[in-house]
Amino acid sequence: MTRCGHVYCWPCLLHYLSLTAHSWRRCPICYEAIHRSDLKSVLTEAKTLYRRGERITMCLMRREKNCLFPVPQPLWKKGIIAPLSLSDDKSVTCYQKLLTANTEQVEAILNREEQQLQRQLSEEGETLLKLRCRPLVNGGRLCRTMKAWLTASHVTLPQCLHVKTMFTLLIHQYRSHHVTCSLTKRRIL
C-alpha cells in the first residue's frame, strides 16, 4: 500500500518503481509521490457481501478520547490507549488500521511476501518459457539468461524484477515483430 492509500500488488509496484532513474514515481491513480521506503504490506480478508433487504448484525465500537484505536464495545476497557500488537486477539485487531509488531513478526511477514514473489515468478516464468518464442534479441542470449535465472535454486528480488522486465521486453518485441511480419505476409515461425 502506498502512502496515499492505494493498494497494488508487490511485483507490479516494484516493477513500476524500477522503470525510472529517480528514487520515486507518481501514483497512477492520484499522482502523489510513491517512494519505495513508504510502501506498506497489506493483508486482505474476504468479507460477506450483503444484498439489499438482507439482515445484518452490526458491532458498536468505542474508543477513548484522543485514542486512535477503536474496539468493540463489549471488549472495551477504560484506559487502553496503547496500540494493539499483531499477536493480540484477532477479534479486536481486525478493526485496527495500525498494529505494532516485533522483529520476528516483521521477518515472518517479509519471508512470506518473498516466497509469494518467488512463487509468482516461477509460475509466470514457466508460462512464458512455454511460449514458442524465437530468440529475437542478441542471438538468443536473452532467452538463455532468463532460463538460467529461472532454473537457479535461489533467485533474489532484484533478479526477479530484472527477469520480469526482460520478459516484458521480449514479449513486446515478439508481438511487434509478429505484427510486422504478418502485415508483409511473411511467415516468422
Domain ranges of the chain: 1-44, 57-100, 103-183
Of 86 and 130, the structure prediction assigns the larger pLDDT to: 86
Is residue 138 packed enough to be buried (19+ CB in 10 Å), middle (13-18) or exposed (0-12)?
exposed
Q: 88 and 71 in contact (C-beta within 8 Å)?
A: no
pLDDT at 136: 36
What's the whole-number mean pLDDT along residues 173-180? 49
Determine the Cα–Cα distance for residues 19 and 140; give it in Å rounded to an integer: 24
Q: What is the end-to-end Cα distance of the chain in Å, rounded?
A: 42
Is residue 159 packed enough to be buried (19+ CB in 10 Å), middle (13-18) or exposed (0-12)?
middle
Confidence of residue 154 (pLDDT cuts 50, 70, 90): low
- Pull the grid cell for residue 127: 508460462
- What is the helix (H) or strand (E) element at residue 96, kind and residue range? none
Q: What is the pTM of this model?
A: 0.47
Determine the Cα–Cα distance for residues 69 and 92; give it in Å rounded to an integer: 10
Of 32 and 142, the structure prediction assigns the larger pLDDT to: 32
Of 140 and 117, the structure prediction assigns the larger pLDDT to: 117
pLDDT at 87: 74
Query: What percent of the chain shows pLDDT beyond 70?
Result: 61
Confidence of residue 186 (pLDDT cuts 50, 70, 90): very low
- Pull the grid cell for residue 44: 486482505
The packing angle between helices 10-18 and 103-129, to 10°, is 80
- What is the helix (H) or strand (E) element at residue 15, kind and residue range? helix 10-18
What's the whole-number mean pLDDT along residues 83-98? 72
- What is the helix (H) or strand (E) element at residue 120, kind and residue range? helix 103-129
Confidence of residue 131 (pLDDT cuts 50, 70, 90): very low
